[in-house]
């Protein structure tokens, strides 16, 4: 009986169940960043999270690799509950790449060394092998000949390419993107979005927080709209963009489109 049931259950690589999170800052009112958020992501799916600033998008994303702890609820990554104390987060994080708005490249290391460090330190790859992998990935993201440059010598778009390559070097199953084009000029934005779309086409599971509605429509399999720490609406890009139901989603779209 159970076997039969399992066949119809989809393989969710990310499961978030009733996750809540409140930030307590000294001398300020507590901020409820997530209110009982529940969602699932299938393998190979591209989930796009949109919503106004302060709605909890980053917090949600950061709970997915344990950069942010949760107050209540559970999160499973590849069937491992990462909210349990016993879980080795460092192992989980190898499977979950993350790209940030501010790139966060290691400033004291060259583009190449940014890609070799996580391999030699975490995966214990030999430095020769790590370098070969790094060079191949740098070429793949369009940075041929830039391997000896330091982050400060690269443009924003180039830095973000290095950052994406640095995540990919760990061969993650999931990639998280937190407004990765928000600090870039329009030209660079296009390049990074293309890179992300090609990743999506290669079957990467992606959770993307973005204000790029064109990208969300083109590359997203599903859209989630958040406000006030809650998921207010969820649907395919077509349904969501053409016919938003929630008044706050309607208002948000009227502002950004």
Partner 1 sequence: MSETILITAPLLMKGLWLTIKISMWTVALGSFLGFVIGLIRASRMKILKAALGVYIHCLRGTPFLVQLYLIYFVLPATGVEWLKFEAFPAAVIALSLYTSTYVSEIVRAGIEAVPKGQVEAARALGMSKWQTLGHVILPQALKLMIPPMTGVYVLIIKGTSVVSVIGITELLRAGEQAALRYPSELMTLYGLVALLYFVYCYPVLRLGRWAETKFGRIENSL
Binder of partner 1 out of 31, 32, 122, 253 (CB under 8 A): 122
Binder of Mg ion out of 34, 51, 56, 58 (CB under 5 A): 58
Binder of ligand ADP out of 3, 4, 6, 53 (CB under 6 A): 53
The smaller minimum CB distance to ligand ADP, of residues 29 and 124, is found at 29
100 binds partner 1 (CB under 8 A): yes
Choose one: 56-64, 104-112, 120-128, 186-194; the region binding ligand ADP (CB under 6 A): 56-64
58 binds ligand ADP (CB under 6 A): yes
As a whole number of angstroms, the distance between CA 239 and CA 253 comes to: 13
DSSP state of 142: T
Give the list of residues 6+ apart from residue 122 with CB closer than 8 angstroms, or none: 90, 94, 170
The least distance separating partner 1 from the CB of residue 162, rounded to whole angstroms, comes to 11
Nearest residue to Mg ion, by Cβ distance, number only? 58
Q: Which 128-157 residues touch partner 1, going by CB under 8 A?
A: none
- For residue 240, what are the CA distances in angstroms to 12, 22, 53, 249, 255? 22, 28, 19, 9, 15
Build a one-symbol-per-residue string for 73-112: x at contacts with Mg ion by CB under 5 A, - elsewhere.
----------------------------------------
The smaller minimum CB distance to ligand ADP, of residues 57 and 161, is found at 57
Strands (E) across the chain are located at 12-23, 31-42, 46-50, 72-77, 80-81, 96-99, 174-178, 205-209, 222-227, 230-235
Residue whose entry in the numeric block shows the structure tokens 């600033």: 53
Phi and psi angles of residue 30, each rounded to the nearest 5 degrees, phi first = -60, 145
23 binds ligand ADP (CB under 6 A): yes
Interface positions with Mg ion (CB under 5 A): 58
């Amino acid at each position: 009986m159970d076997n039969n049931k399992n066949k119809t259950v989809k393989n969710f690589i990310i499961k978030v169940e009733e996750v809540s999170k409140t930030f307590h800052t000294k001398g300020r009112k507590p901020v409820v960043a997530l209110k009982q958020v529940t969602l699932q992501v299938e393998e190979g799916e591209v989930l796009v999270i949109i919503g106004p600033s302060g709605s909890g998008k980053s917090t949600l994303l950061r709970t997915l690799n344990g950069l942010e702890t949760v107050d209540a609820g559970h999160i499973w990554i590849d069937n491992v509950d990462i909210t349990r104390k016993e879980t080795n987060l460092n192992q989980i994080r190898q499977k979950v790449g993350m790209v940030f708005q501010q790139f966060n490249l290691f400033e004291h290391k060259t583009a190449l060394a940014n890609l070799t460090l996580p391999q030699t330190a975490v995966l214990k790859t030999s430095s020769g092998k790590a370098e070969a992998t790094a060079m191949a990935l740098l070429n793949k993201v369009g940075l041929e000949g830039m391997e000896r440059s330091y982050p400060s010598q690269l443009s924003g778009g180039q830095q973000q390419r290095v950052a994406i390559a640095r995540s990919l070097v760990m061969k993650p199953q999931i990639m998280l993107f937190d407004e990765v084009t928000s600090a870039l000029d329009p030209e660079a934005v296009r390049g990074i979005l293309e890179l992300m779309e090609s990743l999506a086409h290669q079957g990467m599971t992606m959770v993307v927080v973005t204000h790029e509605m064109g990208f969300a429509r083109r590359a997203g399999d599903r859209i989630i709209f958040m406000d006030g720490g809650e998921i207010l609406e969820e649907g395919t890009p077509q349904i969501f963009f053409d016919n938003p139901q929630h008044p706050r989603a309607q208002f948000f779209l009227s502002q950004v489109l």
